[in-house]
Amino acid sequence: MNATDALSRPTNLADFKNSPAEAAAVADAGTSAREPAESLLDNAEIIRVTNITKRVITSDGDLTIVSNANFTVQRGEAVAVVGASGSGKSTLLGLMAGLDTPTEGDIAINGESLFRLDEDGRAKLRGRLVGFVFQSFQLLPSLTALENVMLPLELAGAADAEKRARVILDRVGLRDRVKHYPKQLSGGEQQRVAIARAFVTEPKLLFADEPTGNLDAKTGRTMIELLFELNRECGTTLILVTHDASLAARCGRRLTIDAGVVTDETDQGTMAT
Ligand SMILES: Nc1ncnc2c1ncn2[C@@H]1O[C@H](COP(=O)(O)OP(=O)(O)OP(=O)(O)O)[C@@H](O)[C@H]1O
Ligand SMILES: [Mg+2]
């Protein structure tokens, strides 16, 4: 599949049962800039998480992955989500982006309740506002690095998709790798393509799941600078899952998760009741 073929692909998540992440990437891109430009509410609050619980049924019984989380995020904030492996960070991030549905509770993005929308509605909202860097990258394997980054712009009908994609790939240090397919890239290079794909539309809200997890210290620092440039230049709100102390330290806010219980360390208040 090339990037143009993707234009004709369905944007309903249900059509991608075998590849939900590809579905999310394509569906969001496909709906993104066909929508009118989103104006953020005057309200400074961009995310409101209310009584969110995620429970799954396993062979060992019910497992609560996120337990009654309550918090808000203001526009332009940089929030680090930290916690041990298996504590629920990726699950919380997926819920906040509307990629996963909660057992109880609701999440509003820019004043719009995610779970009162259907999947297409959530995809459209994400397309207008959200960039997402997956922990496992989720690049489309049949597209080159350049095509992966161009995809959200092409689907949006941007005339200058290739130029903009090349600029951002250059900024992540991959000028010489644009023609490589994901399987021809190292883990860190794939991670940088995933970051470039999430950045290229200059989203108002960026979720990134361990964005420096596969990078050496120097490349990691460059990616952190890029994240905070987006935060400064575009007012992008950053929600970053990280084990990287230097990245967490750059964020003005820290949410800790311990066995699904979210605590806002900024005010030391327990967020689960
Ligand atoms: N669909 C599911 N069914 C059963 N268990 C699940 C499911 N999704 C997640 N879990 C479990 O919930 C816990 C939290 O998973 P999650 O991926 O959110 O952790 P994490 O904090 O991101 O960990 P890591 O730092 O290793 O990425 C894990 O123990 C995981 O095994
Ligand atoms: Mg995770």
Give 93 Cα–ligand 2 centroid separation in angstroms. 9
CA nearest to 126, candidates 152, 163, 161: 152
- Above pLDDT 70, what percent of the chain? 82
Q: How many structural domains comprise the chain? A: 1
Query: What does the mean pLDDT of the chain come to?
Result: 85
Q: What is the rounded distance in angstroms from the CA atom of residue 179 to the CA atom of residue 115? A: 39
Counting ligands in written order, the one closest to the CA of 258 is 1
Return the pLDDT at 166: 98
The DSSP result for 95-136, as a single string, is HHTTSS--SEEEEEETTEEGGGS-HHHHHHHHHHHEEEE-TT
Confidence (pLDDT) at 158: 87
**Using CA positions, which residue lies closest to atom 5 of ligand 1?**
56
Closest Cα to atom 2 of ligand 1: 56
Confidence of residue 179 (pLDDT cuts 50, 70, 90): very high
Task: Please tell me the predicted confidence (pLDDT) of residue 107.
Answer: 97
Q: Residue 102: pLDDT above 60? A: yes
- Residue 42 included in any domain: no
- CATH number, residue 198: 3.40.50.300
Question: Is pLDDT above 70 for 17?
Answer: no
Query: What is the arithmetic mean of pLDDT over 247-260?
Result: 95
Asked if residue 194 belongs to a domain, the reply is yes
Using most ligand atoms within 8 A of CB, pick from 91, 247, 257 the residue to mutate for ligand 1: 91
| Residue 24 falls inside a structural domain | yes
Calculate how far, in angstroms, residue 121's C-alpha sits from the geometric centre of ligand 1.
26
DSSP state of 138: -
Ligand 2 ion: nearby residues, β-carbon < 5 Å: 90, 135
172: containing domain = 5-35+76-87+126-270
Identify the band that residue 155 occupies on the pLDDT scale cut at 50, 70 and 90.
confident
- Mean pLDDT along residues 51-72: 97
The pLDDT tens digits for 186-234 are 999 999 999 999 999 999 999 999 999 999 999 999 999 999 999 999 9
Residue 182 included in any domain = yes
Q: How far is the centre of ligand 1, averaged over its atoms, from the C-alpha of 260 (Å)?
A: 10
The residue contributing the CA closest to ligand 1 atom 16 is 88
Determine the average pLDDT of the residues in 72-96. 96
